Amino acid sequence: MNIVLLGGPGSGKGTVSNLLEETQNMGHIATGDMFREEIKNETDLGKKAQEYINKGNLVPDDITINMLKGKINQFKDFHGVVFDGFPRNVEQAKALEDMLEEQGQKVDLALFLDIPDEDIIYRTVKRRICSNKECGAIYNLEYKKPKVDGICDICGSKLIQRKDDNEETITERLKVYHEQSKELIEFYEEQNLLYRVKLHASVNITKEMIKEWLENYNKNR
């Protein structure tokens, strides 16, 4: 099963991905994480992407789509792939269809994490992430505090704040999100692949919740 996650910045896509990876043995492709890795390694791609990311804009489709090519077949042995942060517009959604089709696969579910804008700003400003890439745990200083300040509960690494998780960039990211998401949601709705869950900032997403969503989705098809 291949799952596409839709939802604004800080809507919980990363948390859902981590849980799906853990419980369903799914591969995980997060374009935001891939860009951050390229930036850290100071690659040409990273340098190009950084300009857009720091402003809260989308990286151009050709750069993003090229970065993904060849990544999907790395997960052949997994129980499908969860796409986090891709596609972000219909252009990218069509490119994903093509990439999957080449592997004899398709998108099976578009899970839309629907959270109010006020909650998004709050949630992203307070977000802290584990600096250990292998771990990638996500915390919130208000709702999901680590046991020890600044330290990951799971692996003991330092927690860091994403450079683009400041109010100014988030406001721009939200604007970009609203411009693109309506069409994208309709794209998946028309194919009868959309499943919407209503969330709030204070909701801690659990394994049980995800299990229930998947069951309900399959039941109602």
Binding site for ligand ADP (CB under 6 A): 9-10, 13, 31-32, 35, 52-53, 56-59, 64, 85-86, 88, 92, 164, 173
By CB under 5 A, tell whether 130 contacts Zn ion: yes
Residues 53, 35: contact at Cβ < 8 Å?
yes
C-alpha–C-alpha distance, residues 117 and 126, integer Å = 15
Is residue 36 part of the annotated active site? The answer reads no
Is residue 13 part of the annotated active site? The answer reads yes
Is residue 162 part of the annotated active site? The answer reads yes
Is residue 221 part of the annotated active site? The answer reads no
C-alpha–C-alpha distance, residues 159 and 82, integer Å = 24
Hey, what are 29's tokens? 């492709």
- In the list ligand ADP, Zn ion, none, the entry touching 130 (Cβ below 5 to 8 angstroms by class) is Zn ion
**Nearer to ligand ADP (CB atom), residue 186 or residue 208:** 186
**Nearer to Zn ion (CB atom), residue 47 or residue 207:** 207
- In the list Zn ion, ligand ADP, none, the entry touching 35 (Cβ below 5 to 8 angstroms by class) is ligand ADP
Nearest residue to 83 via CA among 198, 3, 191, 177 = 3
Instruction: Restricting to residues 141-180, name those near Zn ion by CB under 5 A.
Output: 152, 154-155, 157
Residues 107, 189: contact at Cβ < 8 Å?
no
DSSP letter string, 146-195: -SSTTB-TTT-PBEE--TT-SHHHHHHHHHHHHHHHHHHHHHHHHTT-EE
Angle, in degrees to the nearest 10, between helices 44-55 and 31-40: 120
Task: Select the residue whose beta carbon is closest to ligand ADP and give its number.
Answer: 32
Is residue 128 part of the annotated active site? The answer reads no
**Nearer to ligand ADP (CB atom), residue 77 or residue 134:** 134
Residues that bind Zn ion (CB under 5 A): 130, 132, 135, 137, 152, 154-155, 157
